[in-house]
Homo-oligomer: A and B are copies of this chain.
Amino acid sequence: MSTTPTRPRRLADVREWHHETDVAIVGFGGAGACAAIEACDAGAEVTIFEVASAAGGSTALSSAEVYMGGSGGTRVQRACGYQDSTEDMFNYLMAAQGDLADEAKIRLYCDRSVEHFDWLVSMGAKYKDSEYKERAIMALTDDCLLYTGNEKSWPFRDVARPCPRGHNLEVEGDNGGPMLMGILEGQVAKRDVRVEFDARALTLISDDEGAVHGLVVRIDGVERNVRARKGVLLAAGGFVMNREMLEKYAPLLTLGNIPVGNPGDMGSGILMGQGAGGALLHMSEGFLTLPFYPPSSLTYGIFVNAQGQRFVNEDVYHARVAHHAVRQLGRGVYLIVNHDDYHHPPFLNASVAGTGETLAELAEEVGLPVGNLEHTVAYYNEHAARGEDPLFHKSPEWLKPIESPYAALDCTPGSGVIYPYFTLGGLDTLPTGEVLTMDGRTIPGLYAAGRTACGVPRTAAGYASGLSVGDATFFGRVAGRQMAEAPSRG
């Protein structure tokens, strides 16, 4: 399936160490960089091995939005008038991740989230004390704070007091990723951290009891045995670029057409970790989304399936819409809007499946059951006029009868509309980053973070922008500290 061998090299077969370090980190993205900084600051000798010729990983390709809050609020939240509570953040994330939630990770993430914000600021990350009030995927201005999840929508608004927790760097446009990685790379460069680029991690080195003592890396075409006295951190991303792995482990994600990741997201860290005895969690899960807003006016529309029925409250986060859209029976997902409310969405690339002065005209053009679509819209309109949505409890601010003329945007997977995606399954770890076996033991010397691990975000149904970079940077830091404090072997 892959050129990465999953079986570790035996320690007893290692005749020579070509390089020694305390902490070896595979991958110089957000997780690896943060781990390196913390491990170094805690006194450990650190080496990063990055398969590409430059730092960045998938964090550099992202918006670098970070989901943070709790503890009375980050500086930005407080400046914007929000007193976020740790319990609200915790209860929200637990509900959003649902039966996949990792309570221990969510607890630690919420407890230390404001500290994480302060640390990012101390590294040089600049966040403006301002809120971006539009419903958007990210702030394209230099504003900081916005709602990026499902906090204000049913059923989550009934579980925890909503608060915006998406933090965007002070930069115009979608340029947060390169900026954050520039900051983190600068901090790594200031420290005594050795970085090897164009260095491909091939396999781990384990002893006969399974403990990890290092890894084999190929640099300049030569295999080198690297001893890691305190441990190896796998922070090599997910497997969104490995088509064979996707088809085998996460086939639903192949409905997506825009992989979000860098070419190194081949699952190599996951494969190496599993080969060393690590358990894998939720390999079928991923972020799969339908970025139908901005413009936020499209939220006034309603999504219908091939039956012409609604299936979700349209005010939720775009990935939650996608999660339910791809689970509808029959082929067809459409966003029905008033033609005048329609503005071309910048990301979606959806074609207009039909238009009509009447719903019957629209339904016939699109190929939807006429009477059912007519009822769906009539029922929705009747209640929307009263600020009610008895079916899916869409928030009153997004309720408005859909008037003629009508338009239907084709959001059917495969129709040309974009469905970005990346993987969320990976190695089972403790909050410390220690990799677990299936019988619940830790594997001495082996750690994982970022999308190589199964972290806080585990399902598109409860995803929020900022959770993946938040998880990667936060748990990268935790793992870095944990490794620095681990006993040195050899």
Q: Are B279 and A438 in contact (CB under 8 A)?
A: no
Knowing A277-B275, A372-B379, A375-B379, the reply to whether A2 touches B311 (Cβ < 8 A) is no
Interface residues on A, range: 35 or more
Q: How far is the CB of A26 from chain B (nearest CB, A)?
A: 17
Q: Which chain B residue lies CB-closest to A248? A: B281
Q: Give A462 Cβ to nearest chain B Cβ, in Å.
A: 13
Cα A397 to Cα B82 in complex, Å, equals 59
Q: How far is the CA of A252 from the CA of B459 in the complex (A)?
A: 13
Fill in one digit per residue for A359-376: 1 if any B CB lies within 8 Å of its CB, else 0.
Answer: 000000000010110010
Pairwise interchain contact A10-B208, C-beta atoms closer than 8 A: yes
Can you tell how many copies of this chain the complex includes?
2
Given that A284-B284, A309-B309, A439-B271 are known contacts, is A372 also in contact with B390, CB under 8 Å in the complex?
Answer: yes
Q: Are B284 and A1 in contact (CB under 8 A)?
A: no
CB nearest to A428 among chain B residues: B248
Q: How far is the CA of A29 from the CA of B392 in the complex (A)?
A: 47
State A312–B282 Cα separation when bound (angstroms): 26
Docked-complex contact A327 and B327, CB < 8 angstroms: yes
Identify the closest chain B residue to A100 (Cβ). Answer: B251
A277 touches B6 (CB 8 A): yes
Known A7-B437, A99-B252, A283-B283; further 14 A-B contacts with Cβ < 8 A? A1-B438, A1-B439, A2-B439, A5-B439, A6-B438, A7-B277, A12-B208, A248-B281, A271-B439, A284-B284, A307-B392, A309-B309, A311-B329, A375-B379
A391 CB-CB contact with B under 8 Å: yes
Residues of B within 8 A of A432 (CB): none
Enumerate 29 A-B pairs (CB-CB under 8 Å) in ascending A order: A1-B440, A2-B438, A2-B439, A4-B439, A5-B439, A6-B437, A6-B438, A7-B437, A12-B208, A99-B251, A99-B254, A100-B251, A248-B428, A249-B281, A275-B277, A282-B284, A283-B283, A307-B310, A307-B391, A309-B391, A311-B329, A312-B329, A324-B329, A327-B327, A329-B392, A330-B392, A369-B390, A371-B379, A375-B375
Contacts of A2 in B (CB 8 A): 438-440
Q: Which chain B residues lie closer than 8 Å to A308 at the CB level? A: 391
- CB of A274 closer than 8 Å to a CB of B: yes
Best-buried of A2, A7, A310, A371 by chain B (most CB within 10 Å): A7
> 7 tightest A-B contacts by CB?
A99-B251, A1-B440, A307-B391, A369-B390, A375-B375, A6-B439, A6-B438
Does A60 make an interface contact (CB < 8 A)? no
Query: Would you list which residues of chain A between 269 and 313 have a CB under 8 Å from chain B?
Result: 270-271, 274-275, 277, 279-284, 307-312
Which chain A residues (302-350) contact chain B, with CB distance < 8 Å?
307-312, 324, 327, 329-330
Closest to A372 in B: B379
Identify A275's interface contact among B375, B382, B438, CB under 8 A.
B438
| Interface status of A210 (Cβ within 8 A of chain B) | yes
B-side contacts of A437, CB under 8 Å: 6-7, 275
Q: Mark A151-184, 1 if CB is under 8 A from B, else 0.
A: 0000000000000000000000000000000000
Measured in the bound complex, the distance between the Cα atoms of B439 and A208 in whole Å is 21
Complex interface: chain B residues within 8 A of A284 (CB) = 282, 284
Please name all residues of chain B whose beta carbon is closer than 8 Å to the beta carbon of A12 when the two chains form the complex: 208
- Minimum CB–CB distance for A215 against chain B, Å: 16
CA distance A308 to B375 in the complex (A): 13
